[in-house]
Structure 1
Amino acid sequence: MNILLIIPAAPGDRWVDGPIYLPFPQLAMPTVAAATPPQFKVKILDEKVEPIGDAPDADIVGITIDTTVANYAYSLARKFRERGSFVVLGGPHVSVLPHEAVFHADAVIVGDAEDTWPQFLSDFSSGRSKKIYYSNYPSLSRIKPPRLDLLKPGAYPTLSITHASRGCPYHCEFCCIPALSGNCYRHRPIEEVAKEVEAHDGLLTIFWDDNLTADRKYARQLFTALKPLKKRWIGQATILFALNRALVKQAAGAGCIGLFLGIESFSTESLKEAKKGFNPTERYGEGIRNLHDHGIAVDAGVIFGFDHDDPAVFERTLDAAASLRLDCVNFNILTPFPGTPLYVRLKKEGRLLTRDWSYFQPYKNVVFQPKQMTPHQLFNGYLRAAKNYYRTWPILKRVFFTPWFLSTKRLSWFMNFQLRKNIPLTFSDAFPADGATNNEGLIEKRGQIEKSIGIQSDRT
């Protein structure tokens, strides 16, 4: 029996469409493939690197869905069902809105694949499959290594990817990770993680953990196990980790050359609003210097659009990023994804501008009414900041100031020029268009909201 697992990409976000951000491989579908019994023949198709037109016929088609591609993925599901395939949907969007997704599929998976996918396949084989399968978020002990061999070779910067944990102990308002991980933070046995990393033959391993270092004791044990492997790796952490000099030194000794840090904002008020008040803005510089002192490059995540953000936030952010000598910055527009407390709050306040999921793209669109500026001001300010930051000369200066480690400089160079490709070339479609699905009267509603909170509805 043939199974096709699809990672869909929105139009314009496919490698074949032009010079977009070079995609790193996802773990979701290789994990599903690893949980598939051997009697099934499995193929993975990642639409970011190969066209969907090459998809073979399959008895079962599985599609993983992020909110950004939900509408498009639903249309794919319909086409495969029309061809006679049994379609199963899963992924972040499906896990938070299963009762929406079930109308577009034969079955849906909520949560982890390790316990739900084998159960579905067993039920399917016996002709008694259910519509919705809920994960119990099982132990991560003895999970099978992801089937990275099923991804298209040569299409990614590296296929050496893994994870040591799932979930995050924090509950930031804009983040859906707690909802996706069953509100629990789980670790894999360290010896299993180390064995998997040792088997990687790439130059760089990526840890896809949402917060690799949240548990300090576990992190110390993990770094101890990684050190003798002499592998270079990157991951995600918080600024709190960066302030722990002993742990940073141990991470660097274990091969860490780069970290994504969720800085989010340089405003204490905005961080408190986002339920991320544990980020100490006054110590950002100390943390960044600590990482740089140990040869670790910093990719900082920054979000524009918090309720305390005014039109001056863009210039303040650029000044702060320059003064901290961040190696690169991932600029985002605040996006209220379903499954987040932010979505619930903005919906209750009547500030959502659309529920057309195709617009929920934090690099391209504004889908809510900001408090201290118009949607156009938010988007234009974001775009100007990103274009200013990713000019060629500032990139060269940032790479020059990156810690004097050749591998770290290469990483900084790669990340800066790849992130520059992510900047929208135009913004004519930055807002949901009149007449779009679920969007009647949007412009009128936007004007009413702006007027009600005292914002002049200009389009500059």
Structure 2
Amino acid sequence: MKIIYIFPPLGHAGTQVRSMPLMPPVLEYLAGLTSRVRPDADIRLINANVERFEVDELCADVVGISILTHQSSWAYRTADRLRARGVKVMLGGPHPSVLPDEAKQHADSVVVGEAESVLATVLEDVERGEMQPFYHGQLLPVDGAAFPRRDLAPGYVFRSFFTSRGCPYDCKFCATPELHGHHMRYRPIEDVILDLGSCKHKMWFCTDADSWGPNVPRYTDLFREMATSLPGIHWVGETSIASVQHPMGEEMLRWARRSGLMQVWIGWESFSDATLREYGATPKMLDEREEALKKIRDNGIDVVLFIMLGARNESLDEYQRVLEMCDRLAVTPHPVMVVPYPGTAMHQELRQDTLHFGEWDYYDGMHSILTQQGGDNLAHEEALKQLWVDSFTWPRILRRLKALPFKGFPNAHIASGIVQAALRKAFLEFRALETAKGK
């Protein structure tokens, strides 16, 4: 059986981002899961961000496309072209999982939710020519999860691993609890160690929703074992700030750095307490955010802050405030517009206040789609672009590198330099594309 898995372009309206040091985790994991249930399968992985290919030349028994919301237009067009030629298509991922009826208009089958419990059945049905319209995955324990196939797409700086699924928080802008459950499912520590040790790669990205989640003793044990069993690896992850304020937070951080953690991307969301309350994000922040941030950096770990702007009736002054606060804290911002994604509480709650509702090309984090007082949405988009320009000047990049504690040298400094340069490059490419389109 020949199977092709595709990850669509991340750029606006299906454009390639070109700067992508990380192999899309979903591709490698689907390949590993497929190899487990169908060892004889001939698998091809296509990251459409970096690989050029002709859709009309693809031949397979089935093509699977995993879709994020703003990728859906490109994915649907591609699926329609494949099906017009008689190629079977299955769609999955976050967007089809929360809008399966929409996705089914462009697919032979839609995999709703996680694939582990249904993929074997899907492929059996493909072979028999009896694909069902929907396959509903169950939230299974992640003990014994398949190892990703990391041999099918060489050349990436980072490879991925995971240690847990789920999220106990109820942020209105996030679909993770809807997709992966409100309760944490932990992968056994020995499985994580075996997975990371199964290949010689040294640079990793942890795909957990929170790389040091609410069970601080568990993560401390994990990092201690990683430091002991896997010397020489380096990794980056996404985290929240609350765990750092745990009584064991300092010990967890020390072992995290010793395990090779170079940098964390923190869901900071906003510098405004009122906006955090509106987003329902206060429980994952707790009280001493800046003190916790200082603890992370003092332990030699670099920080990037995810910050959402463009809340309803938010002042344009907030964009300059973000720049000033990040300058004061000497941290890297990753600013985006707030997006009411399908599957989130915000999606329905703000339906009447969302411009371009259901027009998924606008849900890319660079468009202001929540109504603003006076209709100043374009002004917000320009303010966001200016924030990107100002945030990633070379003098600011160098000042952040200089402010990193020597305890993290050289790994945190290398990670910070690479990521800041990559963010600068990605934005300049985005701006050049918009200029070419006459925007």
Deviation at 1:45, TM superposition (A): 0.9
Sequence identity (%): 27
Aligned residue for 1:144, secondary structure, equals coil
Aligned counterparts, 1:31-430, within 5 A:
31-36=29-34, 37-53=38-54, 56-151=58-153, 153-154=154-155, 156-159=156-159, 161-214=160-213, 215-228=215-228, 229-230=230-231, 231-243=233-245, 244-278=249-283, 280=285, 283-307=288-312, 309-326=314-331, 328-347=332-351, 349-362=352-365, 364-371=366-373, 374-404=376-406, 405-423=409-427, 424-425=430-431
TM-fit CA distance, 1:194? 0.9
The whole-number CA distance in structure 1 between the counterparts of 2:372 and 2:171 is 18
Distance 2:152 2:298 in 1: 39
Contact 2:205 2:236 in 1 (8 A): yes
Uncovered stretches (5+) of structure 1, i.e. residues with no partner? 434-460
In structure 1, the residue matched to 2:23 is 25
- How far is the alpha carbon of 1:10 from its aligned partner? 5.2
1:100-152 per-residue CA deviation (whole Å, 9 max, x = no partner) reads 1011100010111111211111222233321100011111111110112122x
Which one is further off, 307-316 or 390-399? 307-316
SS at 2:111's partner residue?
A: strand
**Residue identity in the other structure for 1:53:** E
Deviation of 1:354 after TM superposition, in Å, equals: 3.3
Between the aligned partners of 2:244 and 2:313, the Cα distance in structure 1 is 26
Q: SS of the counterpart of 1:298?
A: strand
Q: Which amino acid aligns with 1:388?
A: D
Q: How far 1:81 sits from its partner (Å)?
A: 1.0
C-alpha displacement of 1:33: 1.7
CA distance in 2, matches of 1:11, 1:174: 21
Secondary structure of the structure 1 residue equivalent to 2:6: strand
The 3 A distance-change label for structure 1 pair 150 and 305 is same
Q: For structure 1, which segment, 411-420 or 274-283, has the greater mean C-alpha deviation from structure 2 after superposition?
A: 274-283
Structure 1's 90 and 355: CA in aligned 2 closer, same or farther, altered over 3 A? same
Alpha-carbon displacement from aligned partner over 1:213-234 (angstroms, at most 9, x marks no partner): 2221321221122111122222
Confirm or deny: 8 A CA contact 1:311 1:373 kept in the other structure.
Answer: no
Cα shift readout 1:308-355 (whole Å, capped 9, x = no counterpart): 6312111111111111111x11111111111111111111x3433332
Q: 1:403 to 1:22 in 2, by over 3 A?
A: farther
Task: Assess if the C-alpha contact under 8 Å between 2:312 and 2:371 holds in 1.
Answer: no
C-alpha deviation, 1:177, in angstroms = 0.9
What is aligned with 1:446? none
The whole-number CA distance in structure 2 between the counterparts of 1:188 and 1:372 is 49
Q: What letter matches 1:419 in structure 2?
A: L
1:183 CA drift (Å): 3.6
SS of 1:192's partner is helix
Residue 456 of structure 1 is matched in structure 2 by none
Q: Specify the code of the residue in structure 2 equivalent to 1:89.
A: L
Residue 78 to residue 51, structure 1, CA distance change in 2 (3 Å): same
- TM-superposed deviation, 1:306: 2.1
Q: Is the 8 A contact 1:346 1:352 kept in 2?
A: no
CA 234–372 in structure 1, closer or farther in 2 if over 3 Å, else same:
farther
Instruction: Say which SS state the counterpart of residue 88 (structure 1) adopts.
Output: strand
Amino acid corresponding to residue 299 of structure 1 in structure 2: V
Query: Residues of 2 paired with 1:282 and 1:183: CA distance?
Result: 23
Query: RMSD of aligned C-alpha atoms?
Result: 2.4
2:355 partner letter: L
Distance, in Å, in 1 between the alignment partners of 2:3 and 2:413 is: 41
Task: Measure, in 1, the Cα distance between the counterparts of 2:432 and 2:42.
Answer: 43
Counterpart amino acid of 2:267?
G
Provide Cα deviations, 1:174-233, integer angstroms capped at 9, x if missing partner.
Answer: 111111114432111110001111234223221111112222132122112211112222
Work out whether residues 65 and 75 of structure 2, in 8 Å CA contact, stay in contact via their aligned partners in 1.
Answer: yes
Q: Distance in 2 between matches of 1:178 and 1:248?
A: 26
* Residue 371 to residue 169, structure 1, CA distance change in 2 (3 Å): farther
| Corresponding pairs, count | 424
Query: Structure 1, residues 388-421: CA drift from partner, whole Å, max 9, x if none?
Result: 1111111111111122201111111111111112
Whether the 8 Å contact between 1:402 and 1:412 is mirrored in structure 2 is no
Q: 1:314–1:401: structure 2 CA closer, same or farther, 3 Å change rule?
A: same
Mapped contact 2:3–2:41 kept (Cα < 8 A): yes
Question: Taking structure 1 as the reference length, what is the TM-score of the superposition?
Answer: 0.87
CA distance in 2, matches of 1:202, 1:35: 20
SS in 2 for 1:368: coil
